[in-house]
Amino acid sequence: YLKISKLALAFAIIHSKPLGKSCKEYTEHLAKTVSEQDFGWKLKVEALEAEVLRLRQELLLNKICPRFCLENDAPAETLVDQECINPVSYSSQLDDSGCDVSNDYAFDSLGTASDFHQSEHGDTSKRWLEKVPPLNFRCTSKEESLTAPMQFLQHLLEIRKLSEGRILQADFTELENDSFTICNSVSQLLDGLTVFYNSPKFPVSNFLTEAVCVLIGLITDTKLSNHVLKKCFKKLEEFKKNLIQIILRNSNVNRFQALHAVSHTLVLLGRNNILRNSLISLLLSEIHQFSEQLLQAHQIQAMYDITHYENIFPLCMILEQLLQNEPEESNVSSADYDGEERIKFLTNLDQIILHLSDEFPLFSLYLWRVSVLLNSAQIQ
């Protein structure tokens, strides 16, 4: 049947082709016309899907808290208090070669600049509601495509804070009945952040900083995180893997600003006790794999990827930062990540350091520092 259909289509094209055009040219013209029509339909479908998601988001918010004001036309401030995170300033690095990172954003500041502080609940409902940005889903750029999921999740966090302060009554059991909406919103937010980090624009806007704040706030919140992690844990794991690969693959000359932005987000994710252990395992795996490859290249005097070597240091810094700091909640043991990846990393590590220390002293030092932190965590 397929062969007959193809033959019939071929005859139809031959009989209908205009004068002065070959069959090949006419076929390519028809294929292009059909593909353009398909692209137009895809855009319409995407727009309709976005509208359906918007309606589902509004409906879910209304079910959780009918009294919550969705149509607030007051000037919108950011949901998360500005003190919760210090936005990374890249303005003074735009004309820099990317080699000097000491002035605006150093890894030593990761532990303090990203601390989240819980807001006080003594405010009135009016003050809280005035801070909530209105739902707005009409976006014109890639950056603004994060608006819809981010604002929906912002509203969820705001309702959570208001209900905690007993300013509003909210029924979060509705999240169980409509897990698709929150899962889809989180997925869109993660995809949007991945697109940005793959091709970042500097200086980084406060809007993207807010998006990361909302994501971390959602994962950190005890009541909301259960709903999110149940449905979106695999997506979050994929997001962390993508960020690590973005760091390793980046070969631009002025890439260090971008690497700092991604590293900052990974540290924020790692400060959550649920995501911390899996992130540490991923980092241990990547660093161990690279150290073995570097040792093999050194032993046979082969060439190694200098870009990969340079990009491994942000991963070492992130790992050291996470191992030095305890998770946000102390009910998770520091040694919970001790498993297969930890054993692999520490196996023959002394020999690796011994062989690499002369030619790669800085990398060897980082390997030793990480091993000390791993062993001290196990002893504790």
DSSP state of 102: S
* Torsion (CA) 7, 9, 11, 15 in degrees, nearest 10: 180
pLDDT tens per residue across span 171-211: 888 888 888 888 889 999 999 899 888 887 777 777 777 88
- Is-cis flag, bond preceding 203, omega within 30? yes
- On the question of pLDDT at 334 being above 50, the answer is no
* 124-135 per-position pLDDT tens digit: 344 444 444 444
Please check the confidence at residue 240 and state whether its pLDDT lies above 90. Answer: yes
- Read off the pLDDT of residues 85-120 as tens digits, 9 standing for 90 and up: 444 444 444 444 444 444 444 344 343 333 444 443
Q: Considering Cα of 264, then 266, then 272, then 277, what sign does the dihedral take?
A: negative
Angle of the 256-270 helix axis to the 306-324 helix axis, nearest 10 = 30
Rounded to an integer, the average pLDDT of 371-380 is: 78
Question: What local confidence, expressed as pLDDT, does residue 46 receive?
Answer: 82
Average of per-residue pLDDT across 243-272: 88
Sorted by sequence, the CB contacts under 8 Å of residue 343 that are 6+ apart come out as: none
Residues of the chain with pLDDT > 70, as a percent, come to 75
Buried b (16+ CB within 10 A) or exposed e, 8-30: eeeeeeeeebeeeeeeeeebeee
pLDDT band for position 332 (cuts 50, 70, 90): very low
Checking if the pLDDT of 301 tops 50, the result is yes
